[in-house]
Structure formats: C-alpha cells, structure tokens
Amino acid sequence: MRHLCSLVFTVAVAAAGLAQQPQIPTLQVCNGTKATGGATVHLTARTDALHSGDFTLKISAGCDPAGSGYPSGSIDMTFNLSDSSISNLKVTLIEQMTTTGKHTPTMVLNGRCLANGGTIPCHVWLMIADNRQPNSSGTPDVIGVLVVDKTGKRITYGTGPTSSGDISVAATGN
C-alpha cells in the first residue's frame, strides 16, 4: 500500500510539472496605418498546364488608433497557383494590423476569411512591403500570403515581387 501511495504521489507531481503554464497573449494593438491598391504577383514555380502562377490582392484597409482602435476595410484575393486548393478569398474580419518603416513601409496583418465564394472558412496572414512609388522604377513591392482552413490545413500560400499594379502602405515612424 505504501508503494502504491508513493507511486500515485510521484505521478501527480510529474503531471503537475508537465502542465502548460498560462501565457499572456501578444497585444494586438494597431498603429495608425492604411494600405490601398491592387497588384498581381507572378510565381514561375507555381505555374503548370492548368495554373498561370498568379495571385492578385485588392486592398483598402487601415486602422486609426484615435478612432475605434480596430482595423477595418476590405481585402479580396484571387489565386491561380499550382499547389493551391482555393481560387479566391474575401477577408471578413481583420484581427491584427501593424505597419513599420518610413522608406519601405511594411504591413503585416491577419484575419478571418471565406474562400471559394464563401464556402470555406479560413484564416489569412498577409505581408505587404511598399518598396517604391507608383509608376517608378526600382525594387517592386512584395506580397506574401498564407491561408489555412478552419482545421489549420494550408490551402494556399505564396510570396513574391509584384509583376503589375501597386499597393501603397502608409509610412510610420515605428
């Protein structure tokens, strides 16, 4: 009996040691920022007999900390990529949006979305680097996207320089 009590005590202490500690979540406070425009990214490696290798972003979104403090706006994307199981998405809720940088402002955001005409609930992460002014030469803007379905399975992704169009991201001092 004494050995059984020792075993139970040891298991209880070990289980407590393995328990997950509470975590303080990261702050999701947006800074004063906005992004507008439309652009296409062409990824040669995502081209095949059935896919052009393009994805397109149309965005008009921002956040005013002096206003509601929550990001809002519209984000629509289309995908014609190999290794992708969706053709389009619409962001239904922007959960987090932050921009950093003055000369090449870079925005990161994430949110909820509906893909393939609203039939697939999803989550999207988006990165936009505004590397040049419209109609100028130099480094193109860069867009990166990752989309997962409600179970966490990747349904599309891609990152590359824009091949046409322009996305303007408001510069910040952050």
Split at pLDDT 50, 70, 90, the class of 22 is low
Split at pLDDT 50, 70, 90, the class of 17 is low
Helix H or strand E encompassing 120: strand 120-129
Share of the chain above pLDDT 90, in %: 72
Residues 76 and 61 sit within 8 Å (Cβ to Cβ): no
| Nearest alpha-carbon partner for 62 in 37, 33, 91 | 33
Question: pLDDT tens, 59-97?
Answer: 999 999 888 889 999 999 999 999 999 999 999 999 999
Q: Show the tokens assigned to 96.
A: 């987090």
Residues 75 and 91 sit within 8 Å (Cβ to Cβ): yes
| Nearest alpha-carbon partner for 159 in 140, 148, 145, 141 | 145
Q: How far apart are CA 132 and CA 135, in angstroms?
A: 8
